[in-house]
């Protein structure tokens, strides 16, 4: 039989609906709630979230239509993206397992984040806003939102954790080239930011502080709305386009995954990749092992399942999730996008129901990056540091199959490319 290294859908076969797993999880799913004291975060949500996104956040409809204009934007952003059979890697590993990887690295900004950035910008435009605001840590979400804003004709303001802003000069310039404006946070542009900035102009900032600035900025400008890039139900739902494509692509390969793997920080790429398959496990009796690859710097799935804030500044409602605690400090790693204290409520719930497995890799990242290097040498694509965790877990599973002789089908998502992250590889692998 002819060796098939890759399949893709035609542009016409782009999924036309997102999958909302809340329809199949049922009424047990714990809703967000208010803390016992202080103002009502729930009542405040309509001021923070886009009306359409808030509606989606609470929806129990199984399928939600992707507006036609947004489908066009997805095509512009290089969707559908291919699914590859990793023959070369299999050969190198000498494993009986079949390995498949999804190419989210074809994203124009470098990560899967554009899938929800385009959706949120599309709705923002439709709801009459002129500007979107947000925070960013590693920078991928900020770049994606700047991209979404560029394609829909919106302005974009990004509050960027100062400690990262200061050294990711290339990514900052990329945001600017897309027409976005990025500010080191805490900044002197918001009341909350100023209160910290004026005490210490070198305050390194945090994601929580940056969220507060993004929200405050939008709330003070009737033409602006805040956007969030992970954790929430509607964000994961926008990302299901990844898994929906992957389902059709597995049909083209005439195969079906036994194991599905992706890296997990807040959970948006992991959720986007696996949720349509989790739906088949819940409703069609399929059996799949779902494995989240994490860093020991932020092993939130090993934390406690409880109500916690999504942000340091306690502006969000309480969400029921596996969490390390919203004020926990985490060590810096190159896969910075995985460094978040809590896991999205949907994935946390599925973990609670014993549907999601987890693995956490050492903080020095050598083990992870060495595995990623095997992938680069054999398959030729350069993954983002975060995606290196997906690859590492997939290789470990494939080597396990080698030991046991099991011919399992292993699917992993490569959520982004690493062209702008080579200094991270250099530092961890001691390249010269």
Task: Please say which residue, 326 or 417, places its beta carbon nearer to a copy of itself.
Answer: 417
Would you say 40 or 173 has its CB closer to a copy of itself?
Answer: 173
Token pair listed for 9: 């859908």
Binding window for a copy of itself (CB under 8 A); candidates: 48-56, 75-83, 311-319, 400-408: 75-83
Which residue from 416, 388, 52, 385 is spatially nearest to 232, judged by alpha carbons?
52
Binding mask 174-193 for a copy of itself (x = CB under 8 A): x-xxxx--------------
| CA distances in angstroms from 79 to 97, 105, 239, 245, listed in the order given | 28, 11, 12, 9
82 binds a copy of itself (CB under 8 A): yes
- Tokens for 393? 């877990």
Out of 30, 108, 204, 325, point to the residue binding a copy of itself (CB under 8 A).
108
Among 100, 101, 122, 147, binds a copy of itself (CB under 8 A): 147
Query: CB of residue 328 vs a copy of itself: minimum separation in angstroms?
Result: 33
Nearest CA among 209, 214, 193 for reference residue 161: 209
Handedness of CA 341, 345, 349, 354 (dihedral sign): negative
CA–CA separation, 200 and 360 (whole Å): 35
The answer to whether 355 and 392 have CB atoms below 8 angstroms apart is no
**Closer Cβ to a copy of itself, 162 or 326, answer by number:** 162
406 binds a copy of itself (CB under 8 A): no
CA separation for the pair 296, 303 (Å, rounded): 11
The footprint of a copy of itself on this chain (CB under 8 A) covers a number of residues equal to 48
Query: Of residues 110, 337, 342, 416, which one binds a copy of itself by CB under 8 A?
Result: 110
Determine the Cα–Cα distance for residues 118 and 328; give it in Å rounded to an integer: 31
Segment lying near a copy of itself (by CB under 8 A), choices 6-14, 19-27, 55-63, 319-327: 6-14
Q: Using DSSP, how many helices (H) and how many strands (E) does the chain show?
A: 17, 15
Residue 45 in contact with a copy of itself, rule: CB under 8 A:
no
Cβ–Cβ under 8 Å, residues 140 and 111: yes
* Residues near a copy of itself (CB under 8 A): 3, 5-8, 10-11, 72, 75-78, 82, 84, 88, 103, 106, 108-110, 147, 150-151, 169-170, 173-174, 176-179, 373, 376-382, 417, 419-420, 422-423, 425-426, 429, 431
């Amino acid at each position: 039989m002819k060796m098939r290294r890759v399949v893709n859908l035609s542009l016409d076969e782009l999924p036309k609906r997102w999958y909302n797993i809340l329809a199949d999880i049922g009424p047990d799913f714990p809703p967000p709630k208010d803390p016992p004291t202080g103002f009502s975060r729930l009542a405040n949500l309509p001021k923070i979230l886009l009306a359409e996104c808030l509606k989606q956040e609470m929806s129990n409809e199984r399928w939600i239509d992707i507006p036609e204009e947004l489908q066009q934007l997805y095509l512009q952003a290089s969707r559908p993206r291919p699914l590859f059979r990793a023959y070369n890697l299999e050969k190198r590993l000498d494993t009986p397992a079949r390995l498949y990887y999804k190419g989210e690295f074809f994203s124009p900004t470098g990560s899967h984040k554009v899938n929800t950035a385009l959706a949120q910008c599309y709705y923002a435009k439709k709801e009459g806003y002129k500007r979107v605001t947000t925070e960013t840590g590693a920078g991928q979400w900020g770049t994606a939102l700047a991209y979404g804003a560029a394609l829909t004709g919106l302005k974009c303001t990004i509050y960027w954790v100062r400690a990262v802003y200061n050294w990711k000069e290339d990514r900052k310039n990329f945001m600017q080239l897309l027409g976005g404006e990025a500010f080191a946070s805490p900044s002197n542009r918001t009341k909350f930011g100023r209160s910290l900035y004026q005490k210490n102009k070198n305050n390194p900032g945090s994601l929580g502080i940056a969220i507060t600035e993004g929200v405050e900025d939008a709330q003070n400008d009737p033409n602006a709305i805040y956007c969030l890039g992970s954790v929430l139900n509607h964000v994961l739902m926008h990302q299901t386009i990844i898994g929906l494509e992957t389902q059709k692509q597995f049909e083209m390969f005439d195969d079906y995954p036994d194991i599905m793997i992706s890296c997990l920080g807040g959970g948006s790429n992991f959720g986007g990749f696996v949720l349509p398959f989790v739906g088949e496990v819940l409703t069609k009796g399929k059996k799949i092992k779902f494995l989240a690859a994490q860093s020991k710097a932020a092993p939130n799935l090993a934390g406690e399942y409880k109500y916690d804030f999504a942000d340091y500044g306690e502006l969000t409602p309480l969400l029921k999730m596996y969490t390390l605690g919203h004020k926990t400090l985490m060590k810096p790693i190159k896969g910075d996008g995985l460094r978040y204290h809590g896991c999205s409520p949907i994935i946390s719930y599925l973990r609670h129901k014993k549907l999601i497995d987890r693995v956490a890799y050492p903080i020095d990242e050598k083990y992870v990056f060495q595995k990623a290097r095997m992938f680069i040498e054999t398959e030729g694509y350069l993954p983002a540091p975060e995606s290196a965790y997906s690859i590492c877990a997939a290789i470990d599973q494939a080597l396990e199959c080698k030991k046991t002789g099991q011919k399992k089908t292993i699917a992993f998502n490569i959520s982004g490319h690493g062209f702008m992250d080579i200094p991270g590889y250099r530092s961890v692998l001691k390249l010269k």
